[in-house]
Amino acid sequence: MRIGLMVEGQNGLNWERWRHILALAERLKFPSVFRSDHYFHFIGQQQDSLDAFLSFVMAASETKTIRFGQLVSPVTFRSPVDVGRMMAQISVLSGGRYVMGLGAGWNEGEHTAYGLPFPPVKERFERLEEAVQLIRALHEPGPTTFAGKYYQVTGADCLPKPVTRPTLIIGGAGEKKTLKLVAKYADEWNGVGMTAEVFKHKLEVLGQHCDAVGRDPKSIHKSMMNFALVGPNEAALDRATEQFIAMRGMTASGSLADFRAASRVRGMIAGTTNEVIDQLGRLAELGMEEVQFQHFNFDSDEVPEYLASEIAPRVRDL
């Protein structure tokens, strides 16, 4: 199992912090650094928020080894033609390390605030499927003509083409729509905060969708982004928990330990080293290949240092 980092860019990320995180990730030999793609989460808590694609230009030019991309970009934010062109150019700039993460979108508040249409669920998933088809067509050799319900192009030649076809990640765990699209199109499926029991069930559903389209589910890589609360001891755990609660604008009823226990039930990885290894081990046994831990305290390297020194080496061979 691999351990990566996830950065919520809408939580006060600026260029100085992003540059530091990229250098930190390479120094600590993390295999990946992923970004969210949001303007904000909560309308009353808007902070610095770097555009995901602009930040990937810096990632491409200032790193040499990590894979990077978004988890995930809502199809409602940008035209798939613009997304496809940016993806191809970032692929070239990074030597093929860029990963393409797409989703249907969910945060209606940020769409309203920025004047973006927020279609019903059915339309958003139809747009997602068309966007995947169109973007992949744009990345193929030669001009593209595409006549979809929502998107159309005629003789568009997306140049430069990507170094290799970017890995497509589809994020989410909806059983009727999302996992069906994963089975049809995704190179990698990324879930969010799943316990081993939930992951096992979702794998079974994904397997059914794969059977329906004649695909081997083992051909789809499995990863998970997790809002983890981890540390080498209780004091470090309490610091991480307090920071997470403050960042999310939450209140904890009961002790911090009670909050972590409840969080584990919801799929968060939480605990000291042996507890974390146990949770990761159960996921690895089911086929989880990479877990991206959210790095939410940009002013401290404590958690990334801990993950790199204490967690990653112990799960590498799981």
Residue 156 C-beta-side C-alpha neighbours within 13 Å: 19
What pLDDT, on a 0 to 100 scale, did the predictor assign at position 145? Answer: 98
Residue 252 has pLDDT above 90, yes or no: no
Task: Decide which of 250 and 83 is more confident.
Answer: 83
What pLDDT, on a 0 to 100 scale, did the predictor assign at position 292? Answer: 98
Question: Could you give phi then psi for residue 211, rounded to 5 degrees?
Answer: -60, -40
Residue 285 has pLDDT above 90, yes or no: yes
CA 208 to centroid of chain Cα atoms: 24
What pLDDT, on a 0 to 100 scale, did the predictor assign at position 38? Answer: 93
Question: Cα–Cα distance between 229 and 243 in angstroms, integer?
Answer: 10
Residue 78 has pLDDT above 80, yes or no: yes
> What is residue 159's three-state secondary structure?
coil
Question: Could you give phi then psi for residue 48, rounded to 5 degrees?
Answer: -50, 135
pLDDT-derived band at 41, boundaries 50, 70, 90: confident
What pLDDT, on a 0 to 100 scale, did the predictor assign at position 134? Answer: 98
What pLDDT, on a 0 to 100 scale, did the predictor assign at position 178? Answer: 97
What pLDDT, on a 0 to 100 scale, did the predictor assign at position 213? Answer: 98
What pLDDT, on a 0 to 100 scale, did the predictor assign at position 249? Answer: 74
Residue 248 has pLDDT above 90, yes or no: no
Tell me how far CA of residue 179 lies from CA of 57, 186, 252, 260, in angstroms: 30, 9, 33, 29
Residue 46 has pLDDT above 90, yes or no: no
pLDDT-derived band at 39, boundaries 50, 70, 90: very high
What pLDDT, on a 0 to 100 scale, did the predictor assign at position 272? Answer: 94
pLDDT in tens, 171-193: 999 999 999 999 999 999 999 99
Quick one: which of 221, 222, 171, 225 has its CA closest to 193? 225
Reported as type and span, the H/E element at residue 201 is helix 196-213
User: Facing residues of 69 across strands?
Assistant: 34, 99
Residue 217 has pLDDT above 90, yes or no: yes
Average pLDDT, the chain: 94
pLDDT in tens, 6-18: 998 888 899 999 9
Q: What average pLDDT does this structure show over 241-251?
A: 81
What pLDDT, on a 0 to 100 scale, did the predictor assign at position 154? Answer: 98
Residue 161: exposed, middle, or buried by beta-carbon count in 10 A (0-12, 13-18, 19+)? middle
Determine which of 58-67, 203-212, 246-255, 301-310 has the lowest per-residue pLDDT on average.
246-255
Q: How far does the chain reach from its first CA to its final CA, in angstroms?
A: 6
Determine which of 87-96, 151-160, 247-256 has the lowest per-residue pLDDT on average.
247-256
Residue 30 has pLDDT above 90, yes or no: yes
Determine which of 139-148, 151-160, 260-269, 277-286 has the lowest per-residue pLDDT on average.
260-269
Please tell me the CATH code under which domain 2-228+289-294+303-315 is placed: 3.20.20.30
pTM of the predicted structure, to 2 decimals: 0.94
What percent of the chain lies above the pLDDT cut of 90? 87
CA 312 to centroid of chain Cα atoms: 19
pLDDT in tens, 114-172: 999 999 999 999 999 999 999 999 999 999 999 999 999 999 999 999 999 999 999 99
